[in-house]
Structure 1
Amino acid sequence: MPSVPGLPPTEQLVTGLARLGQAIRIGARRDPGPYALSELQGDIVSFLAGDLRPRRQSEVVRALASTAPTISDAVRTLLAKELVERERDALDSRAVVLTLTPAGVAEAERLTGVSPDVRAAISALAPDDLAAMLRGTTTIIRELQDRRAIPVTRMCLTCRFFAPDAHPEDPARPHHCLFADAPFGDAELRVTCSDHEPAPTP
C-alpha cells in the first residue's frame, strides 16, 4: 500500500513544534516592552516570577540550563534596569539571592501574556484538542526531564500534589490536585504552577 510522502510523524511533530516556538518568539520580538530585554533576561524575570521567594543565583543557572558567567552578565543588566534586586543569602553569606522589584513583577506579567495572534490561533482549538495538546506537551517535557535533556519545570507531572487518574469514573476530570483538593482534567494540566512541590524521586 503506498504511503503519504513526507517526513515520518516524529519529525513532522518536531517541525510543527519548532514553528509554534518561532511564532511565539516573533510575537515577543514585535513587542520588546519598555526594557527591551534579551531572551535570557526575559527568561530570568519569568523564572523569578514563578516563585517570589528569594532565589539563589545558582538556582537560576540550573533552571535555565545556562552557565554562571552568562547568568551573572544578564543579572547585572537586570540590576541596572532595576528589575531585580540582589542581596546576600541570610542562610549562607557566600551565596546571593535574587528577587524581583515591583517593576520586575510588572514586566513578568507583561512577558507571560500571549500575543493576540497566538491567542486567536489557540482559541480555534476544540476543548478536546486543547486538552490533548496539553497532555502531550507535559508528557514530552517529563520525558526530556527524565533524560536530563532540559531542567525540571514546576508542572503537574513532577508535583507531589498530582494524583493522576485518581477518578477513573469521571473521564472529563480523572486527575486530582491534593493541594487544592479538587479533581481536574487534561485541559487544566499545569506546565508551570507557583504551588508546585517536587515529587519524591522514585
Structure 2
Amino acid sequence: MAKESTFNPEHQATHTSSKVVAALERISEAFRVMLWQEAKQYGISPIQVQILTYLLHYPEKLKTVTHLAAHFNMTKATVSDAIKSIAAKGFVKRKEDSEDSRSHSLHLTREGKALARKVERFAEPMEISVQKMGPEKQSGILEQLLYLIQDLNGQLVITPQRMCLNCRFYEKKGKLHYCNLVNAFLKAGDLRVDCPEFRMPAG
C-alpha cells in the first residue's frame, strides 16, 4: 500500500506530523516570496541577496566560497556563479590569502555594503510575526526547530549547521542545555542557530 502524501489535506486532518510539515513548507514559501520580491527590486537573484547579507555580517575567515556553499547547502559551482555576477556589478571583490595564493576571501565593496544593508531587511515581515508570539513561545519554537535541524543534519538532508546542538562545547544534562565553553546552563532562548564560538566535535 502506497504511503499517503503529507500534502494530501485529508491525510493531514488526522496526522499532526503532516500538518507540521505542511506548515513548515508554507513558511519556506514565504521566505522564497520575500527573497524574490527583494531580489527583483535590485536586479539580483535570491541567492545573491543571501550572499550579500552573509558577507555583511560574517568574519573574514568564513567569507569563502567553501563556507558559503556549506551555509546555504549549495554546490561551490552554484555559489561561484552567483558571486561572479555580483562581482561584475561591482558589489563584491576577492582578496587573496597572503599565505596561500590559491585561496581567497570575499569582501563587499562600498556599493556592496550599501546594497547589503538594504536587502538584508527582506525577512522583516517574518520577524514581526515571530515577535508577536512573546518570549516564552519564541524560546520553545527555537528549541524545537534546532532539534529538527539537528535531525535533518543526521539524515544528511542539509549540512551540519554552526549551532549549539552540533558544537563540541554543548552538552545535554537531563532536560537542560549546558555550554562547556562558558561553564553555564543555557535557557532555550539562549541557544544559538549560528555561534561565533562554534567548534566541530572532535573525531
Map 1:44-193; keep pairs closer than 5 Å.
44-54=51-61, 55-113=63-121, 115-165=123-173, 174-179=176-181, 183-193=185-195
The code of the aligned residue for 1:199 comes to M
Secondary structure of the structure 2 residue equivalent to 1:96? strand
1:17 has 2:19 as partner: no
- CA displacement at 1:186 relative to structure 2: 0.9
Gap change, CA 1:177 and 1:107, over 3 Å in 2: farther
Secondary structure of the structure 2 residue equivalent to 1:87? strand
- Using structure 2 for the length normalisation, give the TM-score: 0.75
Higher relative contact order (CA 8 A, sep 6+): 1
Instruction: Give, in whole Å, the separation in 1 of the partners of 2:69 and 2:154.
Output: 19
1:43 equivalent in structure 2: 50
Instruction: Give, in whole Å, the separation in 2 of the partners of 1:19 and 1:134.
Output: 18
Q: Greater helix percent: which structure? A: 2
Q: How many residues align?
A: 191
Gap change, CA 1:82 and 1:180, over 3 Å in 2: farther
Runs of 5+ consecutive residues of structure 2 not aligned to the other structure: 1-9
Contact 2:51/2:68 (8 A) holds in 1: yes
- CA displacement at 1:105 relative to structure 2: 4.0
The code of the aligned residue for 1:155 comes to M
2:199 equivalent in structure 1: 198
- CA displacement at 1:155 relative to structure 2: 1.4
1:120-157 Cα deviation digits (max 9, x unpaired): 32123243321121011111111111222112222121
Instruction: Give, in whole Å, the separation in 2 of the partners of 1:59 and 1:49.
Output: 14
The code of the aligned residue for 1:43 comes to Q
Gap change, CA 1:23 and 1:107, over 3 Å in 2: same
Secondary structure of the structure 1 residue equivalent to 2:94? strand
Gap change, CA 1:116 and 1:87, over 3 Å in 2: closer
Secondary structure of the structure 2 residue equivalent to 1:82? coil
Secondary structure of the structure 1 residue equivalent to 2:106? strand
